Amino acid sequence: MCVIAICEEGLKLDNATFKACFEANSHGAGFAWMEGGELHWSKGHMTSREAWKKYKALYDFPHIAHFRLSSSGGICKELTHPFMITEESPIEMEGHGQNKLLFHNGTVSNWREMLMIMAFNARKYPDGKISDTRVMAMAVSILGDKVLDTSKYVIASPTEFITYGNWEKKDGIYFSNLFFNRSVVSYTNSHRGTWDEYDALTYEDLRSKEHKSKKKDTKTGELPLQLRGQNKQLETPFVRYQKSKKRDTVEEDDTMSVEERLTSSYWSGRRYQS
């Protein structure tokens, strides 16, 4: 599943929330933050203790935290998020600069087909380990954000974080989902003591419950992310909300361009629907 958290300047995940996020998505963590007019990142933190030690230093900066639950490519530090949005999206564990980065919560089922299309046209296959999110970062560098499916994404730059999909707010922090937040109900006059309401639910039950909750929220409109970056004079938020778009139907045939193949309903229809 994974989970992404976006914190404005002065906010951060407390230790309990951080630990819950990591325990529910224990395949590695990565971070990005705005500092000194540049976008910095650090990834490949494979234990909760290591990740927390790095995370504590980000308190003063607008930042993103990603906790991975592997869906493709295997469990390894190289495939933790974020990924550089370039044509080859080289794997670099840390760095800084003006380059944009991609974070992802979800699964792109057809990423291998997308990779083959791009590799065939570029006549070059990227080095290193591959996952669906790395392939999507490559695709975004070529075609822009229109290639993104209905999963949840963040495109980060030195001046703004652009979100895609439906997000939830808790304690002033925006999360791609709240599955890590296991609610415990206490029965003070019962022999049961405490009961975790999620223990008896299946994964499909959880998704159905989240969907019903979001359906109710739509009555008050889409959730805007109104967070500001390090420049206090900015008139626009550094986080922008992008509503997922439906793709028009495009028939697949041998005459289709790379762009048409990567953005057609043939691909988007097979992707994970969050």
Give domain status of residue 184, yes or no.
Answer: no
pLDDT value at position 135?
Answer: 94
**pLDDT above 90: percentage of residues in the chain:** 51
Q: Mind listing the pLDDT tens digit for each residue in 50-79?
A: 999 999 988 689 999 999 999 888 999 999
- Report d(CA 141, CA 108) in Å as an integer: 17
- Dmax (CA) of the chain: 70
Give domain status of residue 180, yes or no.
Answer: no
- Which structural domain range is residue 162 located in? 3-175+221-268
- Report d(CA 33, CA 84) in Å as an integer: 14
Q: Is the pLDDT of residue 98 over 50?
A: yes
Give domain status of residue 193, yes or no.
Answer: no
- Report d(CA 93, CA 97) in Å as an integer: 14
- Does 176 or 251 have the greater pLDDT score? 176
Give domain status of residue 8, yes or no.
Answer: yes
The pLDDT mean for the chain works out to: 75
CATH number of the domain that residue 43 is part of? 3.60.20
pTM of the model: 0.71
Q: Residue 240's Cα: distance from chain center in Å?
A: 14
Structural domains counted in the chain: 1
Give domain status of residue 188, yes or no.
Answer: no
Give domain status of residue 248, yes or no.
Answer: yes
- Report d(CA 95, CA 80) in Å as an integer: 14
User: What mean pLDDT do residues 177-188 have?
Assistant: 58
Residue 57, φ and ψ in degrees, nearest 5: -80, -5
